[in-house]
Structure 1
Amino acid sequence: MTSSSEEHVRLAAGDVELTVTPANGCRISSLRVGGAELLRQGERYGCFPMVPWCGRIENGRFLNGATWHRMPLNSPPHAIHGTGRDTAWRTAVADKAEAVFTYDLAEPWPYPGKVTQTVQLAEDSLTLQLGVETYGDSFPAQAGWHPWFNRTLGGADVTLDFTAAWQEERGEDHLPTGRRIPPMPGPWDDCFGMPDGVDVTLTWPERLELKVASRAEWVVVYDEQEAAVCVEPQSGPPNGLNTAPRLVTPIDPLEIAATFTWRRL
C-alpha cells in the first residue's frame, strides 16, 4: 500500500519499497530491494532531482539573450546542482506505486515556470521523469538526477561498467574545458557523452545488478567518495547553461526520463 504524510510519500511493489521526501527537494530518500537499502542515507543524499540546471555553473553566472543572471555560489566559486533540491515540492498524486510532484520556479531562479517529477515503481524497475515548463519568457535549463548508490551492499563492493563515446576534459576549476577526450580510467568526477543514450551498469557481486538508462546523452560519474558512487543522467553537460543552452519555450518544455532496472544475482 501507499502511505503519505507531509514529510514522506512511500511507494511499494512486491518487496521493493521507495520513500520520497517532498519537503527535502523531492529526493528519493530510500530505495529498498528485498530489504537491502541501495541509496546512501542522510538529508543530503538519496537521489535528488537536479533542476533547473545540473552540475556546476561557472562562477554562478549564465547568459540568456543579452541578460546575465547570477545564482548563489553554493559550491564556491560556482553554483551547483540547481535549486530544486533546496525547495519544498507539492504532492500532486500519490498512488500505490506512482506519485507526481510539482513546484513553481522562484527566486533565486529569475524566470517563472513549473517543474514536475513523476516516480513510477515496479518490482524490477524505477522510472523517473522530469519536466520543466515556462510561464512566460523562454530560458535555458537542464534537468537530471543525482543518485548516491551505496558502494557496498551486503559486503559486496560495487563495480561500474559503461562505454562512453567521449569524456569531457575537466579543468582545474572542475568545469569541462570544451575538449572531448577518450574516456580515462577512474576515479571519476567527470562527464561522459553517450549519443545513443545513457547506459551504465552497477554490479554488487552475488547481490544485485542495476542498470541506469536514459535517452539523454550525458552522464556524470562520481566515485571519489568511500561510502557511495553516483551515476547522474542529465540533459546537458556541466556549465551547459553557458556552453550548450537548451531553451525552454512556451511550446517546447524540457523533458527527460531515466530508468533504474535491477535483477538479483
Structure 2
Amino acid sequence: MTDVLENDRVRAVIDPGRGARLVSLELDGHEVLGRATDPSVDPAIADGCFPMVPWAGRIRDGVLLVGGAEHQLPLADDGNALHGLAHAAAWQSLGEGAYELAIGPPWPTEGVATLTYALLDDGLRIELSWDDDSESPCSVGLHPWFRRQLDVGEPAVWPLDAGAMVERGNDGLPTGRLTAPHPGPWDDCFRLSSAPVITWPGALELTLSASTPWWVVYDVPETTVCLEPQTAPPDAFGHPGLQPTGGWPRGVWLELRGRAL
C-alpha cells in the first residue's frame, strides 16, 4: 500500500514497503521521476527516489574499519557495498509523510533512520536522518531517478556549477583526491558551488537545493539522470581527504521546487 501527499500543484506517492521511497512525483501534472531500463542497473535501485543510510554510494570491498575493528557489509554485483541498508526494507509509517527504520548488524552500530516528506507550494522537501547515539562514521543521501523526457517539452539539461570533482581510479572508486571537473557522461561525485537545476525546455524547471555540497551525478543510462545529494563522497570512510573536518553529518535535506515553462 502506498501513501499519497498532494496539493494544487504537487502529488507525491511513497511506498513504505520499498524503502519508504518516493515512487512518483508530479509537478504541475508532469511526472518527473522514472525508472532506468539499462540491464546493468539492479532493479532494486532503479526507480523513484530512495534513501541511502547509514552509508551512501559505494564502500570498497564492503569493508568498514571502525575503532580498529573490521566490519564486512553486504556486497553488490560489482564486489563493493552499495547504498546502505534501507532502500529495500519495509519502513514503519508514523503518519503525515513520516517514516522510521531500525538498523543494526551488519552495520557496526545500532540506530534509527528517520525519513520525512513535506509538501511545498511548488514542490517537496525530503529529510533523512540517522541516529545511533554515537559519533561513528556514517553518510546519508537521497537517490532520485529523473526522466530525461517528460510528457511534453524537450529533453532535460542539467548544467553543473562544480568547483571540484572526486577523482576516480581505474576501478571506478575514489582515489581520495579532488580534481577539476571533466565532461560527461558521469558516474561521479562533485562539490557544487550552487544548487543544481534540471530543465525540460517547454515544460518545467526543477531546482534541487540540499544541505550538502556533495552530489553524485549519474547520467550514463539513456532515459534517466540521477542527481544525488550525499553528506560525504562515496568511500569517504577510507580517504581522510574526503571526510568532514568536524563530526560526520547525521542528516541531509533536499528540496525540489518546480517552475512551469
Q: Same fold (TM over 0.5)?
A: yes
How many matched pairs? 250
1:60 aligns to 2:62 (yes or no): yes
SS at match of 1:121: strand
Alignment match of 1:14 (pick from 8, 31, 36): 8
Distance 1:225 1:58, change over 3 A: same
1:212-235 alpha-carbon deviations (Å, 9 max, x no partner): 111202000010001100000110
- Give the aligned partner of residue 34 of structure 2: 40
Distance 1:68 1:242, change over 3 A: same
TM-score, scaled to structure 1 = 0.88
Alignment match of 1:239 (pick from 192, 217, 235): 235
Shift >3 Å, 4+ stretches? 41-44, 244-249
TM-score, scaled to structure 2 = 0.90
- Give the aligned partner of residue 146 of structure 1: 143
Superposed displacement of residue 130, structure 1: 1.1
- Give the aligned partner of residue 176 of structure 2: 178
Flag structure 2 segments of 5+ consecutive residues without an equivalent.
36-42
Superposed displacement of residue 245, structure 1: 5.1
Contact 2:28 2:260 in 1 (8 A): no
Superposed displacement of residue 15, structure 1: 3.2
Counterpart Cα distance in 1 of 2:246 and 2:71: 16
Superposed displacement of residue 162, structure 1: 1.6
Query: Superposition pairs for residues 188-203 of structure 1, below 5 Å?
Result: 188-194=186-192, 199-203=195-199
Contact 1:233 1:258 in 2 (8 A): yes
Contact 1:141 1:245 in 2 (8 A): no
- Give the aligned partner of residue 255 of structure 1: 251
Distance 1:50 1:226, change over 3 A: same
Flag structure 1 segments of 5+ consecutive residues without an equivalent.
1-6
CA RMSD in angstroms comes to 2.0
Q: Which stretch of structure 1 is more off in the superposition, 165-174 or 201-210?
A: 165-174
Alignment match of 2:123 (pick from 122, 125, 129): 125
Superposed displacement of residue 123, structure 1: 3.1
SS at match of 1:157: coil
Q: Which stretch of structure 1 is more off in the superposition, 35-44 or 231-240?
A: 35-44
Superposed displacement of residue 117, structure 1: 0.7
1:126-180 alpha-carbon deviations (Å, 9 max, x no partner): 1111111114x54211111100000101252100112111011111211111221
1:26 aligns to 2:23 (yes or no): no
Superposed displacement of residue 247, structure 1: 11
Counterpart Cα distance in 1 of 2:155 and 2:6: 26
Distance 1:106 1:247, change over 3 A: farther
Contact 2:153 2:203 in 1 (8 A): no
1:86-120 alpha-carbon deviations (Å, 9 max, x no partner): 211111122xxxx1110101233231101101111
Counterpart Cα distance in 1 of 2:86 and 2:243: 19
